[in-house]
Every structure is written in structure tokens, then in C-alpha cells.
Amino acid sequence: MLVNQPIFYFDFGSPNAYLAWRVLPAIERRTGTRFRMVPALLGGIFKATGNQSPMTAFASIPAKLAYERREIDRFVARHRLFEERFVCLRDVAQVAAHAAMDLAGYAALPHALFSASGGDGAPAALDAVLLRHGLRRRIAATLPHVTALPFAIAGTDLVAAAAERVARRLAAPAGIAMLPLPAEVPPFDIDLLYTRRGSASEAVRWLLALITEVGEHIDRG
């Protein structure tokens, strides 16, 4: 064991312990240290010290619990890999030949869809926006891999919604245009999930740190 090795005490039932554990690899990479993982029973600690869990202690103070939830949201936003958003893909000849699309015109067009499972894997946020306006997309083609999406659209009247960074790299080689969607669709986060058993491996720790570093670079644009 390292001299003065930092110890990370955690309880499997603690959301805050889980969130803190998620950022330990980045701290280890930055400082060159290694945390020693020690499980603990928070309930026993609370009982021995005369304390209570926040949910119990602040049950009668809704504003306190709401602010704690806000703090968790801030933490999650800070430690995601990066934020992504959807854009519209369309053949360049179709863009040149037709006027700008409104939402109804967009929904009426034949849509290409990426779905690894073969089912309707349409972005839920986009469909929710359309449904609020009484609209639905007409799925004309379903493709098993996202890289096939732009090439299926080229030379046709198909349109598709795709993650912006994927679209940016594939639009030009496929000869298609990348356009804003005709409605405001909320962005979404790209997170990195992994198992505790896997992160015990030094090689996996290195890979996680590398992915996190790349994600931070992407998020900065």
C-alpha cells in the first residue's frame, strides 16, 4: 500500500458516492495517485454519530431537497463526456431545388433511420417535438449502421436526423447537406459508463482516462 494513499469510502446505496466514484479516474490521472477503495455502511455511520440521511433529515424542507437535486444535476453536467445535438441530413440537389422546410414539410418527407436493432430507434426528443404539433415522421428506410445513413440519402429525396458530430464528418464524403432541424430539439449528453470490476484493471483505467480526455477536448469544440 502506498504511504499516505488517499482512501475513498463508499456506500453502494449512496448516489453521491457513485457520482464521486465516476470522476476518480480523472483525479488519479491528474495527480498520479491511486485511491484505495473501502466500502462503508452509511446507515451505521449515521447511527453511530447521531446523524440522519439527507432524505430523512430534510424531509420537511422541500426547498433543501430540491436544491440538493440541483447540485446533483450540476455535477452530472460537469462530468459528462460532451453534449450533442441533432441536425438534418438531405441530398444537396434536393436542398437546391426546394425552398426551406417548415416542420410540417419536414415530417411529410420520407425519412431514413439508423437502428442497430432493426426497430424504430428514432430519436425520442425529435418525435416528441413533432407530436406536440400533431405530426409524425414517415420512416421509409431503416439502416443498421449510422455511417450508412448519409450514403443512403445521397441522390434521393430521403432526409434523416443525425448527431451533429457524426454528420459533420460524413456529410461531405457522401455529397449531402447538413442543415438545422426545422424545430428546436433539446441537446443530449454523451456519457461514459463502466463497471467497477473493469476499472480495477490498470489498462482499463488508462483507456477510461484517455476517453475522458478526448471527451473533454470534444466538449470544448
pLDDT at 177: 94
What is the full DSSP assignment across 21-58? Answer: HHHHHHHHHHH---PEEEE--HHHHHHHHT---HHHHT
* Superfamily grouping for domain 86-186: Periplasmic binding protein-like II (3.40.190.10)
pLDDT at 120: 44
CATH 3.40.190.10 range(s) for the chain read 86-186
141 bridge partner residues: 112
| DSSP-assigned letter for residue 109 | S
Listed in sequence order, the DSSP H helices in 58-195 are: 62-78, 92-97, 103-108, 124-132, 149-153, 164-174
pLDDT at 29: 72
Low-confidence stretches of the chain (pLDDT beneath 70): 1-3, 30, 74-80, 116-124, 193-200, 218-221
pTM above 0.75, yes or no: no
Residues whose CB falls within 8 Å of the CB of residue 152, separated by 6 or more in sequence, listed in order:
112, 141, 143, 158
What confidence tens digit (pLDDT) does each residue in 165-207 have? 888 888 888 989 999 999 888 887 777 766 656 666 788 778 8
Given a contact cutoff of 8 angstroms between Cβ atoms, the answer to whether 176 and 91 are in contact is yes
Listed in sequence order, the DSSP H helices in 79-201 are: 92-97, 103-108, 124-132, 149-153, 164-174, 196-199
